[in-house]
Amino acid sequence: DQNAARLFYANAALQGHIIAGEDASNAFGEAPRPKQQYFIRPDAAFHHWWTSCLGHPPIPHDFVVPVLRNMQGHPEAPRLWSIHIHRMLQHDLNLRPTTHEPCLYSGLQDGHRIFLIRQVDDFAISAPMLELANKFFARLDDLLLEPFKMQGVINYYNGINLRQSRDFITVDCQMYLQRVFERH
């Protein structure tokens, strides 16, 4: 249904805002590792990176290596990322989530009201001016290990085509719905 996204788009249109987007490059790696330590058995690519790129001595063939950060593929990775980014948005950037849609946030940037939607590692901001959205994204970037992929004013967000102008925002779900029906 994408109710949160529909609320976000409708609010942006009512406010006369533009929508800008960003994508986290390595979302799960940003969060702390799970409490239960886990290890990997290095493959050839890892051995090459370890010795050639980092200049370390070779790892003995039968050794395992501890993973010190959260990692995609671990069962707890999505939950840890969600907790991590939610805490940053609330405590470091002073955004407040809505009660019924905790992925929708609002706050102030330079005295202007902004709105943010977060869907896993994809972010969109509704702001009166692109400069405010970019300034907010830069503040968020400063808190992360890996920089976001800046997208500027977006025309596509999580399967939805957007058309924005000074006077309106239109949403086209046709391609998204077509993919959903093809899967079922």
**pLDDT score for 145:** 82
Give me the chain's average pLDDT, please.
82
The pLDDT of residue 178 is above 60:
no
Average pLDDT over residues 13-35: 81
Which residue is it, tokens 């929508």?
19
- Calpha distance 177→50 (Å, rounded): 44
- Start-to-end CA span in the chain (Å): 16
pLDDT of residue 71: 75
Q: List b or e across 18-37, with b for residues whose CB sees 16 or more CB atoms inside 10 angstroms.
A: bbbbbebebbbbbbebbeee
Output helix, strand, coil percentages for the chain, rounded to the nearest 5.
Answer: 35, 25, 35
The pLDDT value given to residue 12? 86
Give the model's pLDDT for residue 150.
79
Question: Does pLDDT of 135 surpass 90?
Answer: yes
Q: Is residue 156 over pLDDT 80?
A: no
Model pTM score: 0.74
